[in-house]
Amino acid sequence: CLVSERELDHIEKHIYRAERARGLRDHKYRLLPQRIPSETVFPKILTLRKEEKTETIQKTHKAKTKKHRAAWAKEQIKGHQDQMIRGRELTEQRSERLRAWKMSSPAPPLHRPATHKEEEKEFEQITAYPIAQPYQEALIEVTIQMEKSRKEDNVKKPLRRELLSMPPFLRSQLEK
């Protein structure tokens, strides 16, 4: 055997699916009855008189005519227009209510944005000494113009203690 059973199984399933897709088998994988072209039977044509035709043959449901389609389209358009008109009326009523409510309440005062005055910057001249000096005897001085910081005035300096307090456990260690 050149092909394993598993592959044969896959091939059979594939064939079944293909036949089912083509309509050769039904949903339970049974072959549908096939007609041989030589056995095809043509329908018998009955010739009836005009009176018999109208009595025996049922009237088939005709597709809607152009008049019906045009009438339906007009109906749809009219319904749509009615909806649009109703919507406009509702929005107008809503806007009128809002206008009346706004007119009855007093107008809020106009708030003008506060104009910020440009703060004038103060500069001070500072003498600086570069870190790398070529000669130790004659130091190079550089005068720099720096902006005065206004935060210096507001900075709280911590209280200075001249002597640090000794924790009690260290005191006992020193006494020994």
The answer to whether residue 27 scores a pLDDT higher than 70 is no
> Token pair of 91, please?
């929005």
pLDDT tens readout for residues 66-102? 888 889 999 999 999 999 999 999 999 999 999 888 8
- List CB contacts of 29: < 8 A, sequence separation 6 or more: 16, 19, 20
Contact 13, 5 (CB under 8 A): no
Within 13 Å of residue 147, how many CA atoms lie on the same side as its CB?
6
Question: What does the alpha-carbon distance between residue 126 and residue 123 come to, in Å, rounded to a whole number?
Answer: 10
Question: Among 45-54, 58-67, 149-158, which is the least confidently predicted range?
Answer: 45-54
What is the maximal distance between C-alpha atoms in the chain? 142
**So what's the pLDDT on residue 49?**
61
